Amino acid sequence: MTIEAAPPLATDVAALRDLESEAIEIIREVVAEFDRPAMLFSGGKDSAIVLHLARKALWPAPLPITLLHVDTGHNLPEVIEFRDRVVAEAGVNLVVARVEEWIADGRLQERPDGTRNPLQTVPLLDTIAEHRFDALLGGARRDEDRARAKERIFSIRDAFGGWDPRRQRPELWHIYNGRHAAGEHTRVFPISNWTELDVWRYIEAEDVPLPSIYFAHERPVFERDGMLLTPGPWGGPRAAETLSTRSVRYRTVGDGSCTGAVESEASTVAQVIEEVTVSRLTERGATRADDRLSEAAMEDRKREGYF
C-alpha cells in the first residue's frame, strides 16, 4: 500500500527551526565553555546532523572540534567510506580508536557471541583520557531508549568515565552547567529533544548527505533472532541460516554483528519520512540486538562509560 505523504504544516517547520536553534545554542556553549571538545562521529545520520549543525553554528570559522570514531572493525564499508569522505570535505581532524588494536594487545578479548558493540567502551574512555577531551558532543536522542531519555543535555561523567543518573544537574531555562573536576568530562547531546522523524525532516530540509545504507537497496542478508544481518567478518550465515537477497535499508548504524536491516522500498528521503511516520517500532527496538540483552542493557553500558 502506498501512503500519501502529507505536506509539512507551518507548525512542523517552526518546530524544526526551534530544535535547530536549540542545538546551535548548545554547540556554541560547548565551544565557549570547554578547552578540548570533541565530537563522536560514527558516520550515522545523527552524528551527520550534529556535524552539520556544528558547522552551521560556527560558520564561517573552521570547526575547532576533533571528531572521534570508535571503529569496531565490523562496520559496513559504505559507512567507513562516507565517514572518510565527509571528514576530508569538512577539513576536520579525525581520531579513530580501533577496537581491534585493543584486542591485539590483550586489553580486550573477543566476546563469545562475536559482537563488538559492548567492547567500544574501553577504547572510547582510553582515547578520551589520552587526548584529554573535556567535552564530547554526541547524537544520542531521548526517543531512542529509556536510559537515553534520562540524560540531561549536559551529562557529567566521573574520572572513570562512568555515568550516575543521580549526579545530573537541573537545566532550568536552558541554563547548562559544564563544571567538572580534573579527570571528569561532560557528554553533550544537542539533538536530545529530537525524534527520529525530526531528524529525517531536517535531513530533507537541509539536504544533509548520508551513507547509502539508509535507503532501500538489494542486499544479501540472513535472518537471526528476528533481524536481517549482512554477512561479514562478524560471522554468518551459520549452518541453519539461509542467505537471500532482499530490498532493505538500515535505520541505525552500528556493529554489523548486532545491527539489523529492515525490509523496505524507501529509496528517497521523502519515502523514508513516509515510512517512519507510520512505523510502530522504534529504530533501536527494531534493529539492535545489543539492546535486547536485558531491560536495562543500555543503562548498564552507559554507567560503564558507553555512548
Please, how many CA atoms are within 13 Å of residue 226, restricted to the half-sphere of its CB? 6
Residuewise pLDDT in 10s, the chain (307 residues): 444 556 666 668 899 999 999 999 999 999 999 999 999 999 999 999 999 999 999 999 999 999 999 999 999 999 999 999 999 999 999 999 999 999 999 999 998 888 888 899 999 999 999 999 999 999 999 998 888 888 899 999 999 999 998 889 999 998 999 999 999 999 999 999 999 999 999 999 999 999 999 999 999 999 988 889 999 888 889 888 999 999 999 999 888 888 899 999 999 999 999 999 998 877 766 666 555 555 567 777 778 887 7
In the chain, where the domains are located: 10-198+296-304, 210-293
Among 263, 81, 276, 250, which residue's Cα sits nearest to residue 198? Answer: 276
Q: pTM for the complete prediction?
A: 0.90
Evaluate whether 76 touches 252 at the Cβ level (below 8 Å).
Answer: no
198-203: which pairs have CB atoms within 8 A and are 24 or more residues apart? 198/15, 198/16, 198/19, 199/45, 199/46, 199/49, 199/141, 200/45, 200/269, 200/272, 200/273, 200/276, 201/8, 201/12, 201/16, 201/273, 202/16, 202/19, 202/20, 202/49, 203/45, 203/49, 203/269
What is the predicted pLDDT for the residue at 149? Answer: 86
- Angle, in degrees to the nearest 10, between helices 269-278 and 196-206: 160
What is the predicted pLDDT for the residue at 267? Answer: 97
Give the amino acid at 55.
Answer: R
Q: 10-198+296-304 in CATH: which number?
A: 3.40.50.620
Tally Cβ neighbours within 10 Å of residue 130: 10
For residue 5, the 8-state DSSP code is: P
